[in-house]
Amino acid sequence: MKQSEILITFLALMLSFSLLQTGCSKKDDNTLPEQEQPVDPFDLLIYENTSRNYKTDQLQASIKKSDLQFSTFGDMESGQVLGAFNKAYVFSQAENTESFILFDDAGEPAFIYKVNLVTGEKKETIVELEKSEAGGFFMRIMYYDWINRLGSLLFETQITKSGDTYTSTPIFVNETFNPESQNMTKTNRSFPIPVDRFEKLMTQNEHQTLKDVQFGFEGWKASWNNLRNSEIADWLVKTRKAGAVLTLAGLGLSETIVGAPAGVWLVAGGVGLVTVSTALEVVLTDKWSNFLNETQTKIDALSTSATEIAGNSVQKFQGYAHNLKEHWLNPNINKTTLEELTTFIEEEEIIVQKDNLDDLPDSKGVLQIGLSWNTIDTDIDLWVTDPFGEKIYYGNPNSASGGYLDRDDTDGFGPENIYWRSNVPDGEYTVQVNYFSGTPATNYEIKVTNGLGFVASFDGTLVDEDQTINVVSFQKTGTTITLLN
């Protein structure tokens, strides 16, 4: 390769644990409980961005330990090394599985999806992790149609922590899901809707993790510290070690669901969780934290010549045609340069262009009508009639005006939601609830919000099957919502 064609500079750092044990013994105050200690050394390869101007999805570093690899992507200015990360690739050589993690603006794991970097194929099951305002977090497994960018909820649970114990409280389980079926039989199921949060995190220039953290090693280390303090990351590791994620039983899913139509997708989501949690266990140890502390001082002092550290070579190579195959655990990755791999991931793994987000919320607001109720084994339905007279409900989950019903919960509590994501039509909307089936009296709550500060709640009681109540009508004009009754 000609010198003018060389596009990357990298730092190859290979330090043994003897360095860690002698060079840094103080425990980091911001740590998860001590995990099982790795015995193999970490192999850390850090890349310097010398040619790419954009900030996001730049491959920053690859961490290897035994048969596991954890590679970070994130914000990098041209000519700089490292920075806060917003995406990670994980690979288990023993299981031959690979996944991506997307991190939210707070640096928390937000989505996990499996990939095949040989073909660029993204598996149809994605897992969402989202912090709850009431404490704990939600874990959702979805079937995702990458072509049409629509997700169907398969399972939702709330994870809460008491002491060192995590509890899963299932909210919704769709055991009958079949992506090939158009069966409209009344059953517990979800409907395909845009997954706004996923698209925003997948899209270039729409997202920067830890925005106020500086570039360089400090920014990268801050992302790691944030991950080590994450309750979500802690739960992933602990439940996988206990076998709960692998069997899905610890989430409240019956083992019989494996034979149900939705079973294959739910199991695939569990496999993705296992791959990620196995890799996290390696890098959420005190020894990894100590490794970072020790390595930081070495990176700051590196020169173009080789530097000896405790008998291990640490070199900075410039003008070298680096072959990624020599440093990548996954033997199927056939990209040979950093530029080639990063470009491939941009083209194959980013699902939309940054200027193609016409269905995401904007300054004009969105519209959401939500329903929940307080009894189990009771089927309450949400009906919303749009300004054009079209009723959105379980039998017509998508309207011509852009409204979506996300699910039809037939076994109690809800929630059910009807959304308009953008281009919300002006006019009059009518909200109704219908008691489809059940025996007890049921208290319901309806909440209407426009994403711009307007929130209105309404409650009442349903007592008879097939009873319908007109809850509220409202007029939308621009960004203003006016209640009519």
Are 461 and 333 in a shared domain? no
| Better pLDDT: 437 or 341 | 437
Domains of the chain: total? 2
Q: Name the residue among 267, 293, 383 with its Cα closest to residue 25.
A: 293
Query: Could you tell me the two tokens for 375?
Result: 């009894």
Distance CA 57, CA 65 (A): 23
CA within 13 Å, CB half, 413? 8
| Better pLDDT: 140 or 95 | 140
Are 333 and 404 in a shared domain? no
What does the angle CA 157 – CA 158 – CA 160 come to, to the nearest 5 degrees?
A: 145
Residue 420 has pLDDT above 80, yes or no: yes
Are 9 and 96 in a shared domain? yes
Burial state string for 305-342 with b = 16 or more CB within 10 A and e = fewer than 16: eeeebeeeebbbeeeeebebeeebbbeebebbbbbebb
- Mean pLDDT for the stretch of residues 95-121: 87
Edge-to-edge strand order for the sheet containing 442-449?
403-405, 416-420, 367-373, 442-449, 455-462
Are 138 and 272 in a shared domain? yes
- Mean pLDDT for the stretch of residues 185-208: 77
Q: Write the pLDDT tens digit of every residue in 429-475.
A: 999 999 999 988 999 999 999 878 888 999 999 999 999 999 999 99
pLDDT of residue 482: 94
Confidence of residue 218 (pLDDT cuts 50, 70, 90): confident
Q: Name the residue among 200, 176, 180, 203 with its Cα closest to residue 190.
A: 176
Residue 420 counted as domain residue = yes
CB-based contacts of 77: which residues, under 8 Å, 6+ apart?
A: 49, 55, 83, 215
Type of residue numbered 180: E
Residue 38 has pLDDT above 70, yes or no: no
Residue 280 counted as domain residue = yes
Q: Report CA Rg, the chain.
A: 25
pLDDT of residue 371: 94
pLDDT of residue 56: 58
Are 113 and 222 in a shared domain? yes
| Better pLDDT: 53 or 359 | 53
Residue 357 counted as domain residue = no
* Whether residue 415 has a cis bond before it, omega within 30° of 0: yes
Residue 358 has pLDDT above 80, yes or no: no
Are 277 and 321 in a shared domain? yes
| Better pLDDT: 400 or 62 | 400
Q: Would strands 455-462 and 379-385 be described as parallel, antiparallel, or unpaired?
A: unpaired
Residue 307 counted as domain residue = yes
Are 301 and 379 in a shared domain? no
Residue 191 has pLDDT above 80, yes or no: yes
Are 342 and 386 in a shared domain? no
Residue 46 has pLDDT above 50, yes or no: yes
Q: How far apart are the first and last CA of the chain?
A: 73
In the listed set 314, 349, 384, which residue is the last one of a domain according to the structure? 349
Residue 361 counted as domain residue = no
Distance CA 307, CA 314 (A): 5
In the listed set 288, 318, 349, which residue is the last one of a domain according to the structure? 349
User: Which of 57-61, 248-252, 279-283, 303-307 has the weakest average pLDDT?
Assistant: 303-307
pLDDT of residue 118: 77
- 107 with 84: CB under 8 angstroms? yes
Are 330 and 407 in a shared domain? no
Containing domain of residue 447, as a range? 367-483
- Mean pLDDT for the stretch of residues 423-431: 94
Residue 4 has pLDDT above 60, yes or no: no
Q: Name the residue among 69, 105, 99 with its Cα closest to residue 86.
A: 105
What is the domain-level CATH number for residue 453? Answer: 2.60.120
Residue that has been written with the tokens 């072959």 in this structure: 323
Average pLDDT score, the chain? 77
pLDDT of residue 417: 92
Are 422 and 344 in a shared domain? no
Q: Which helix (H) or strand (E) holds 162?
A: strand 150-162
Residue 309 has pLDDT above 50, yes or no: no
Residue 258 counted as domain residue = yes
Distance CA 60, CA 69 (A): 13
- Mean pLDDT for the stretch of residues 417-435: 93
pLDDT of residue 452: 81
pLDDT of residue 128: 96
Confidence of residue 202 (pLDDT cuts 50, 70, 90): confident
Query: Could you tell me the two tokens for 4?
Result: 């003018």
Are 345 and 430 in a shared domain? no
| Better pLDDT: 109 or 187 | 109
Residue 354 counted as domain residue = no
Residue 416 has pLDDT above 60, yes or no: yes
| Better pLDDT: 337 or 392 | 392
Query: Could you tell me the two tokens for 41?
Result: 């050394």
Are 80 and 120 in a shared domain? yes
Q: Write the pLDDT tens digit of every residue in 229-255.
A: 999 999 999 888 888 877 787 888 877
Type of residue numbered 158: Q
Q: Write the pLDDT tens digit of every residue in 74-83.
A: 866 655 667 7
Residue 359 counted as domain residue = no
Distance CA 251, CA 313 (A): 46
pLDDT of residue 319: 32
| Better pLDDT: 62 or 469 | 469
Q: How far is CA 464 from CA 54, 203, 439, 460, 467, in A?
A: 59, 47, 8, 13, 5
Distance CA 446, CA 388 (A): 22
Distance CA 429, CA 15 (A): 64
pLDDT of residue 222: 86
